[in-house]
Amino acid sequence: MFRLIASLTAAALLAFPAAAWGKTGHRIVGEVATHYLSAPAEAAVREILGPEGLAEASDWPDYMRSNPDAFWRSEANPWHYVTIPEGMTYAETTPPEAGDAITALTKFRAIVLDEEASLDDRQLALRFIVHLVGDLQQPLHAGNGKDRGGNWVDVVFFEEMSNLHEVWDEKLIQYEELSYTEWAAWLVQKITPADLGEWGRATPAQWADESAAIRDTIYPETEILSYDYAYMARPILNRQMSKGGVRLAAYLNAMFDPAPGVAGTD
């Protein structure tokens, strides 16, 4: 029975790629970022998104994957992740012709800053930026090229059939039973000025390399995951979502209020 369910799960994942962090995780990243936006960046986000805000915008690209349009079902799909084989860095890889999360960031940054672009296009681009910065902090969105970012690694999480990617996207976060605002508030209380400087200086390629390094440490030795795995994972979740919020703010600050030496724009 286990093999049958696992086979059906894998088949379903071929048709419906998993999202990063899930709704709650993405909203946590967006909410954390709101605490660190510069005044020009906050004003620019408000001008483009109106009352929507970063937390609400954060999971929109995943929601739109249900749209039957070919753009969402095919063209946009590769932009949610990068592939970094074990032992390599992002700089040592060649992005696919269809693009990846890092090339998409560059593309959407240009659209957001293009005042000739339509408001609809700038909104789409900014929503993608908010989302993709979060994606790049999820360790399994820096895939090794072998198992679709853990989608093909079948596990049982607290007696529920799942896969490793889904566990990191959603199950571990749901396990804590916190709202996105509760979790974000806890994270912000613990982020130090030193964290802001260190995390904010990193480039998207460095984010991806960090995630790939973490990825290689979180593959379980057993397919049965329970309290021990959740205990191991929570500090990583906290750190990566904290980094995501700080880095999203730094990226937007550099876009809308650029200054020499500010990282996060490459």
For residue 143, the cross-strand partners are: 83
Residue 127: CB partners within 8 Å, gap ≥ 6? 49, 57, 58, 60, 61
What is the pLDDT, as a whole number, of residue 74?
85
> CB neighbours (10 Å) of residue 207?
27
What is the pLDDT, as a whole number, of residue 264?
45
Q: Residue 97 has what DSSP assignment?
A: T
**Residue with the larger pLDDT of the pair 71 and 55:** 55
What is the pLDDT, as a whole number, of residue 233?
97
Mean per-residue pLDDT, 124-147? 97
- Map out the domains of the chain as residue ranges: 2-255
Is residue 261 over pLDDT 90? no
Rounded Cα gap, residues 61 and 48, in angstroms: 16
CA distances from 238 to 25, 180, 190, 229, 243 (A): 10, 12, 10, 15, 9
Is residue 2 over pLDDT 70? no
Query: What percent of the chain has pLDDT above 90?
Result: 83
**What digits encode the pLDDT tens for the residues 83-110?**
999 999 999 999 999 999 999 999 999 9
What is the pLDDT, as a whole number, of residue 16?
38
Is residue 245 over pLDDT 90? yes
Total residue count of the chain as it appears in this document: 266
Mean per-residue pLDDT, 200-213? 98
What is the pLDDT, as a whole number, of residue 263?
44
Rounded Cα gap, residues 228 and 209, in angstroms: 26
Reported for 44-49, long-range contacts at CB under 8 A and 24+ positions apart, including other chains, are: 44/252, 44/255, 44/256, 45/126, 45/252, 45/256, 48/112, 48/119, 48/122, 48/123, 48/126, 49/123, 49/126, 49/127
For residue 142, the cross-strand partners are: 82
Is residue 53 over pLDDT 60? yes
What is the pLDDT, as a whole number, of residue 19?
58
Rounded Cα gap, residues 242 and 184, in angstroms: 8
What are the respective helix, strand and coil percentages of the chain, to the nearest 5?
Answer: 65, 5, 30
C-alpha closest to that of 128 among 106, 105, 103: 105
What is the pLDDT, as a whole number, of residue 257?
85
Mean per-residue pLDDT, 199-228? 97
What is the pLDDT, as a whole number, of residue 5?
39
Query: What percent of the chain has pLDDT above 70?
Result: 89
**What digits encode the pLDDT tens for the residues 111-124?**
999 999 999 999 99
**Local confidence band at 73 (pLDDT 50, 70, 90 cut-offs):** confident
2-255: CATH topology is P1 Nuclease (1.10.575)
Mean per-residue pLDDT, 38-46? 97
**What digits encode the pLDDT tens for the residues 137-155?**
999 999 999 999 999 999 9
What is the pLDDT, as a whole number, of residue 66?
87
